[in-house]
Structure 1
Amino acid sequence: MALLKTTYTLRAAAMLFSLCATAIPVAAQNTYLNYGSEEYDLVDRLETRSGYLISAFNTASKPYSRKDVVDFLAEVQRASRTRGLVVNDIDAYNIGRAISISGEWYTNSSGEGGAIESRRPVLRYFYKKQPDLLHIDKDDFFMVVNPVLYLQGGYEKDGGFRSINTRGVEVRGRIADRVGFYTMLADNQEKVPAYIDEWATRHRGQFPGEHYSVKNGNNYDFFLARGYIDFALWRDHVGLTFGYDRNQIGYGIRSLVISNSTAPATFLRLRSQWGDFSYENLYTELVSNNTVLLSGDGLLPRKYASIHQLNYTPNHWLNVGIFESTVFAKQTGVPVEMIVPVIGYQSLAKQMGIGNTVNNNAWGLQFKALPLSGLQLYGQLYIDRADWSALGSASWKNQYAAQLGIKYFNVAGVPNLDAQAEFNIIRPFTYMAQEDSITSFTHYNQPLAHPMWNNYAELIAQLRYQPVPRLNITARAIVSKRGADSAKIGNGIYGLSDQRMAGDSYRMFNGIVEKGLFGNLNAAYELRPNIYIEAGGNYFRKNSGGISSGNNLFLYAGLRWNISRRIYDIY
């Protein structure tokens, strides 16, 4: 009994899992693609154009395994050579590029890896392979080391010079086909546009998508740190990952469950794949809402969350899934009941009064469908709380969020011109805590799911065009509407729904109505694998309570090296 009552930290639990994993004969452990990598768009495009959903791995859960992606792309490559699958020249180039970048997971007929050899290595030892500064491939050890660099300068109307300055290194590899590992460390300074600084102010000084930062005016200084170790507990079926990074669930630009737009967190993830079924358990340690970030001292308060999802592909054109998420009101260690890897257990335990019953529990559904070749539909429904007797009414108890999206590849027959439209709507009080502020669906003073809180609706439209192999042009526009004022009318993430204003009726956009318009146009040219020069611009306008904030125009140009582009599409 004493053992059952003992609390463990998430790191201790992960250590136990890790020790168990190393005692099991394993093979084909994984490393994962960084968020924003071109490979995500490529996999999505090829899958949708084929008319057949991928069932070998779960595309609703990001990041993707490099091995899974290379296996899929290699199969497409073989089919284009032997079975008459039509792949245009640009797609063929993208497939070859992606396999080369993750070449450790590919072996050709001669027994060689997929990374393309460089014609002229630097000082004989560097860039022997085109994608990698340092590439080591031995029988029981593989490792690549690459620099990370993001230099950007720009001019904001009425705001002056803005910049990004990121320098670091990333390392990935595997040991004896038993352990996969990745780490990225970088120092970062940014002088952000005014509307991003305003977003940070509303979130108690927290920089969007990152952990602790130091602020001086609208200059932010923070350290980027990501890393994980990965084990294959059962080859091609069960994998375990422990690390500090982001996770995302869903098929859209936004996620209504957990998003890669939030700060990284310590996590333990168990992924399972059995035929047409995929199942995932995600356990994570979060930082509670606090004001310590403003002063920069003190131990930040912790909390814990578990997310389970089950997805099923019943046929070649449809995937459906269900998920459960729970945030626990406990700061001193992992609740024992949190570790139970069974979807639905947390809801049942709360109803029966088992364990820590003060928590924020929610359910949801998601789907992806391919009704026609080149056309994809997707969506999510997140149910935080529902009054089934008054469903569809303005009752404050109807706390839910919904997403519906469509992707169209080769628009109007134009090769590699792809379009996407996505609609998101979030009811008042959704994601907020009810009994204890610790249980709000937040991390580091920012939303854990959709970055724009609640009492909010938006329409996102995006075009992506690749006219030649190395050039990508992307345009994104967002039209939004929000009811803003205070947590008492259902907006925000810091209050309690039990402290709402009098009355039960809370329609969408209660409070001060804010209307926003955001646009981004970006052109990126790849000089060498993962080295980009780019230029573009952001446009932002907001009207709050009938008062316009004016037009914010920001133009920029820069260089990216082994790091994804940042799109500040929040306000």
Structure 2
Amino acid sequence: MRKLFTLVFFSAVLSAQAQESSATYEKYPVFDECKDKAISELKDCFDTTLRAFLVDNFKIPSVVTEEAYTGEMSFLFEVNEEGAFRLMYVDAVYNELKDELGRVFSQLPVISPPTYSGEPTYMQFSMRLKIPLEANTEPLVQTTKKVDEFTKDASDEFKKIVEERQKYANDEYSSELNIPFSHQRYALFDAALNQVGSNNHTAVKPYVYSAVADYFDLEAYNKSLSKNKKSWFGRKWWDEHMVTVKGKDYWFTLDPVADLQLGKDNSDEVDYTYNNTRGVYVRGGLGKKFNFSASLFESQGRFANYFNDFARSIRPSGGNPAIIPGRGIAKEFNEDAFDYPVAEGYISYSPSKNFNVQFGHGRNFIGDGYRSLFLSDIASPYPFLKLNTSFWKIKYTNTWMSLRDVRPEATEDGAFLTKYVATHYLSWNVSKKLNLGFYEAVVWDTSNDRGLDVNYLNPLIFYRFIEFATGSRAGNAILGLSSKFKWNDRINLYGQFILDELSIDDFFGREQNFRNKYGIQLGIKYYNAFKVDGLLLQAEFNQVRPYTYSHNTIRLNFGHNNQPLAHPRGANFREVIGTANYNYKRWFGTARLIYGEQGLDIEGDTTSFGGNIFTSEDNRPSDNGIELLQGNKASTFFADMQIGYLINPATNLKVFGNFIYRNFDPSAETTATFKNSTTWFNIGLRTDLFNWYNDYQ
């Protein structure tokens, strides 16, 4: 970093240029040798006497002489109200020069202080000391003075800020910022976080850097990938943030971001698909406990036909043509494409090692799998407040979210309905191998002028009891249980159980009552599979009964912007997922196979078969005999393979090629639900800051 007083020690002149005081009531400090001088001569006498003292007493260090160094050093000093000299700042090539100057200043006598309007005050000066010492003949520079009796001069404040700039030291890796959540990126350190015997908690995502740093040195890993380029462009392209600024108690980085994709979908008549995202990404910190992050994206895109159709099928009320899954509401662009701006950001504050609070606009995830039955990141960003509390073997996470229902039946006077979700998740490390998690969520809306119900702001209360106390139609409460077992350092098992509603009598009577609304997830991870470092294999099974996440008050569903908050299929489905992630230096690869079945509603029939969480369960075909996959049973096979190269580890900029095959086969074909097969190939350049899901159905 460039400092205001550039240091090139000892060259030949001790310069001290003094600014002329604009005040007529100011008097210079006075050495004993100058007491008999007229007031108009005090400035020159002060300069001459100080200059002579420094030249006579300064001893050039031997290292400076031995290395034949010539140059100069700059420094600031002050004469205070008591007449004492105080050396404030020194810029020098050699520490020996700084030490010698400090020694000389410690020998300066106490003199008569400067005055303003007859009262003692202070003056600050800047000087340059040069070699040879006898050439130091220039006057002093007065850098700070009192403007009047009450106002202090701030003319050097900006200079001091510049002067305090420091070299950026990768502060993000020890910060309270979130590591941007993408499954491919998190696979890099998933094994380190799941070591047997660790007291870590892995379900709540995204992780903060400081938490991961206890188990995986991401900074050192990224440094190991360095290209060691010397040019500015080489460093910024391969290894560093575009802009870095660091001061005494602050820092921030700024990077351009992009998601540029070009592809071909064989099921569509268009010549090509594309995505054109440009944006900016800012992160920083104020002190050691407060951090902030903001990203702004401007995007246009035309996707594979099945993706476009799905985006249009969840379009909002009001005329906009689509909602891009995971991003937001879109408008038409060039007749056959979408324009969808997105903004995300948050602030993060950790008052102690036990607490972290975040407030922002983004997405969250709870679970150890590819999917989550509790809370996933598949929906559009939303405002949230999150409190993480960690102590002993416990991590307790409270999240409050403000969501929107954008369907016509939930729109009033052209405005989208606001609803709220509050969640609790308590993670408990029972032993060095076993973890249990306890989940609770409640959805409520603003009907009856309730607004933000303070009952649900309590971070400790049980929402199920509050729902009972305020009325069953006043909120929709959901319970969940999760578990993870570390078989060893290479294999762990995980699962989730979600319970929306349960009729015990009907459950054991095998009546298959509609009230039996629950889901289950089972999964396994195999790290460094078959002794191949960096290879993570994962298998997962998900199944959710009909009407889970829905409600008889249709606005109390567990969804946002026409997208489920948990599993992308909603309910009334089952699926099997197999994933392989591989990382080798800057190369990476991902392969994922998904086979799923779901019972869909039948076009033209008002009956709800339980797959669409945004319809009312009151439209069910019956109370009993509710079977999994009832309705129009459809099967989907999805294959997604990606290979790429990480260009910049600091920004996660990567180049990639992506191949997707999708086959959709419903039992009954309609105009909206029909057999189709897609082969979609993409190449792209992307700053990977979030998960792009293409497997919604």
Q: Quick one: which of 210, 224, 227 aligns to 2:342?
A: 224
Number of residues paired by the alignment?
501
Q: Map 1:374-413; keep pairs closer than 5 Å.
A: 374-391=490-507, 393=510, 394-413=512-531
Ranges in structure 2 where 5+ consecutive residues have no aligned partner:
1-173, 316-321
User: TM-score, normalization: structure 2?
Assistant: 0.68
Q: Quick one: which of 225, 236, 244 aligns to 2:353?
A: 236
Amino acid at match of 2:205: K
Task: Check conservation: 2:259, 2:686, Cα contact below 8 A.
Answer: yes
Amino acid at match of 2:220: G
Q: Map 1:452-531; keep pairs closer than 5 Å.
A: 452-466=569-583, 468-485=584-601, 488-529=608-649, 530-531=652-653
Show CA shifts across 1:53-78 (max 9, x none).
442xx31101100111123214xxxx
- Is 2:456 the partner of 1:334? no
State the match for 1:104 in structure 2.
Answer: none
State the match for 1:291 in structure 2.
Answer: 408
Deviating beyond 6 angstroms after TM superposition, the runs of 4 or more aligned structure 1 residues are: 292-295
Distance change >3 Å, CA 201–CA 119, structure 1 → 2: closer
In the TM superposition, residue 185 of structure 1 has moved relative to its aligned partner by 0.3
Identity of aligned residues (%): 27
Task: Check conservation: 2:554, 2:615, Cα contact below 8 A.
Answer: yes
In the TM superposition, residue 518 of structure 1 has moved relative to its aligned partner by 0.4
Distance change >3 Å, CA 565–CA 63, structure 1 → 2: closer
Q: Quick one: which of 239, 247, 252 aligns to 1:138?
A: 247
Q: Quick one: which of 184, 187, 209 aligns to 1:66?
A: 209
Show CA shifts across 1:117-168 (max 9, x none).
96425279x8399331111222210101111011110011031311111000
Distance change >3 Å, CA 293–CA 555, structure 1 → 2: farther
Q: Quick one: which of 35, 39, 48 aligns to 2:181?
A: 35
SS of corresponding position for 1:127: helix
Amino acid at match of 1:145: L
Ranges in structure 1 where 5+ consecutive residues have no aligned partner:
1-27, 75-93, 102-115
SS of corresponding position for 1:521: strand
Structure 1 Cα separation of the partners of residues 481 and 329 of structure 2: 33
Structure 1 Cα separation of the partners of residues 500 and 374 of structure 2: 10
Q: Which has the higher contact order (CA 8 A, sep 6+)?
A: 1
State the match for 2:662 in structure 1.
Answer: 540
In the TM superposition, residue 359 of structure 1 has moved relative to its aligned partner by 0.5
Distance change >3 Å, CA 273–CA 189, structure 1 → 2: same
Distance change >3 Å, CA 302–CA 324, structure 1 → 2: same
Show CA shifts across 1:303-347 (max 9, x none).
111001111002111110101000013265311112111141x21
State the match for 2:329 in structure 1.
Answer: 212
Show CA shifts across 1:217-237 (max 9, x none).
55221112110111113x110
CA root-mean-square deviation: 2.6
- Is 2:275 the partner of 1:164? yes
Task: Check conservation: 2:586, 2:646, Cα contact below 8 A.
Answer: yes
State the match for 1:190 in structure 2.
Answer: 301
Task: Check conservation: 2:267, 2:677, Cα contact below 8 A.
Answer: no
Task: Check conservation: 2:326, 2:380, Cα contact below 8 A.
Answer: yes
Task: Check conservation: 1:155, 1:162, Cα contact below 8 A.
Answer: yes
Structure 1 Cα separation of the partners of residues 618 and 692 of structure 2: 37
State the match for 2:675 in structure 1.
Answer: 549
Task: Check conservation: 1:149, 1:563, Cα contact below 8 A.
Answer: no
Structure 2 Cα separation of the partners of residues 117 and 292 of structure 1: 56
In the TM superposition, residue 565 of structure 1 has moved relative to its aligned partner by 5.8
State the match for 1:7 in structure 2.
Answer: none
Structure 2 Cα separation of the partners of residues 276 and 420 of structure 1: 26
Q: Map 1:96-107; keep pairs closer than 5 Å.
A: 96-98=220-222
Show CA shifts across 1:257-289 (max 9, x none).
111111111001111000210111100100024
Structure 2 Cα separation of the partners of residues 534 and 554 of structure 1: 14
State the match for 1:122 in structure 2.
Answer: 232
Which has the higher mean CA deviation after the structures are superposed, 394-403 or 525-534? 525-534
Which has the higher mean CA deviation after the structures are superposed, 485-494 or 306-315? 485-494
In the TM superposition, residue 215 of structure 1 has moved relative to its aligned partner by 3.5
In the TM superposition, residue 196 of structure 1 has moved relative to its aligned partner by 1.1
State the match for 1:153 in structure 2.
Answer: 262
State the match for 2:138 in structure 1.
Answer: none
In the TM superposition, residue 39 of structure 1 has moved relative to its aligned partner by 4.5
State the match for 1:422 in structure 2.
Answer: 540
Structure 2 Cα separation of the partners of residues 120 and 247 of structure 1: 39
Distance change >3 Å, CA 211–CA 321, structure 1 → 2: same
Structure 2 Cα separation of the partners of residues 128 and 263 of structure 1: 30
State the match for 2:5 in structure 1.
Answer: none
SS of corresponding position for 2:530: helix
Greater radius of gyration (CA): 2
User: TM-score, normalization: structure 1?
Assistant: 0.82
Structure 1 Cα separation of the partners of residues 611 and 527 of structure 2: 36
State the match for 2:687 in structure 1.
Answer: 561
Structure 2 Cα separation of the partners of residues 366 and 453 of structure 1: 19
